[in-house]
Amino acid sequence: MCGVSLSDLMLVECLCLSTARMCGVDVPAIDLLDLKVPALCIERYELKRPLTLFPK
């Protein structure tokens, strides 16, 4: 997988899920290792509210 280690994948998953939660994205419990091809995890979630860079 392009020289990416298992620990790298777990770190990316953790960062992606944490960021999604902070941005109001509903994050189901998933494991990126279930994916057979590289994908942006954010594409698997539905936004609960519009994503804004500067929330009020």
pLDDT band at 4 (very low <50, low <70, confident <90, very high): low
d(CA 18, CA 22): 6
Does the reported pTM lie above 0.85?
no
pLDDT band at 2 (very low <50, low <70, confident <90, very high): low
In three-state secondary structure terms, 22 is helix
pLDDT at 37 (0 to 100): 45
**Strand (E) positions, the chain?**
25-26, 46-47
Contact 49, 26 (CB under 8 A): no
Token readout for 16 is: 């992606």
- Per-residue pLDDT of 23-55, as tens digits, reads 887 766 555 555 554 445 444 444 455 555 555
Contact 41, 17 (CB under 8 A): yes
